Structure 1
């Protein structure tokens, strides 16, 4: 697995974010039975930058906590069966890794939401990465049934790592 990290803010998170993100990504891959090694870009930024990205790509002029930019289209969430047919578009030709996409996280939101929800920054960052990974696998939460499925999968990932609301 290749995780490319960019830390693009002066705001300090004061935790081993690379290790935490690596664990959450691994658990999400295992939970969804991803049969491939993956390449993933993770950008940690501030509210101003994530707001600009949110405005450009989603036409929402407000900061958000996390954005997901998948490189793979799924007919059914986490259905990896068709990817080898699209090898030229989905895999890094040098490493053979599945190009999963990009996760962009607002460090300011991690800190603020951890305080707001009464849990640790580790739990908040872990939750946002798990949530984003599910989007990269094609899950969504626009409909009630989809939201329920995503919430259960997020819980399974975080519980499996013992990242609970109290931590």
Structure 2
């Protein structure tokens, strides 16, 4: 598994961003029984930069907490057999599946953790789990899809021991 993590802006999260990203990405892949090694790119930025991306990519002119840019198009979320015949979905040298990009607003991590009454660790991990599920073909446009994603996100975080009720001072 390869994670390319880049940070923009002077804002710092009170978590080990790389370590948590690696744990959540790996746990999500294990949880979903993804059969290949994978590559994911994560950009940690600020509200202004993610607002610009949100406007350009989705036509929504406001900051958001996370954006997901999947590189693979799935017919059915969580079904990976078709990838055997899709060599363009794999890095030619490493052989890793190119899952896509995740962009997270560090400002939103901090403000939403405060708003929801849990730690920045939990919010950061949640956003990565949420986005990873998008990179694996899941969506939440319909109510049933939302419920499936919500259940999966919660189970992934539980498997990592990251509780919604951890205090802001707890670090993993």
TM over 0.5: yes
Q: Any unmatched runs of 5+ in structure 1? A: none
Cα deviation per residue 1:62-114 (whole Å; 9 max; x = unaligned)? 00000000000100001110112111x20000100000000000000000000
Partner of 1:95: 94
- How far residue 14 of structure 1 moved from its aligned partner, in angstroms, is 2.3
Question: How far apart, CA to CA, are the structure 1 residues paired with 2:12 and 2:150?
Answer: 28
Aligned 1:77-116 pairs, distance under 5 A: 77-87=77-87, 89-116=88-115
TM-score (norm 1): 0.98
RMSD: 0.6
Matches within 5 A, 1:25-104: 25-87=25-87, 89-104=88-103
Residues 119-158 of structure 1 aligned to structure 2 (within 5 Å): 119-158=118-157
- Tell me how many residue pairs correspond in the alignment: 166
> Secondary structure of 1:4's partner?
strand
**Alpha-carbon distance, 1:2 to partner:** 0.5
Question: Residue 170 of structure 2 corresponds to which residue in structure 1?
Answer: none
After superposition, give the CA deviation of every residue in 1:27-56 in whole Å (9 maximum; x if it has no partner). Answer: 100010000000110000000000000000
Deviation >3 Å, runs of 4+? none
| Alpha-carbon distance in structure 1 between the residues aligned to 2:82 and 2:74 | 8
- Structure 1: distance between partners of 2:137 and 2:63: 23
Distance of 1:165 and 1:39 partners within structure 2: 27
Q: How far apart in 2 are the matches of 1:39 and 1:139?
A: 18
- CA–CA distance in structure 1, aligned partners of residues 96 and 84 of structure 2: 11
**How far apart are 1:129 and its partner, in Å?**
0.3
For residue 26 of structure 1, report the CA deviation from its aligned partner.
Answer: 0.6
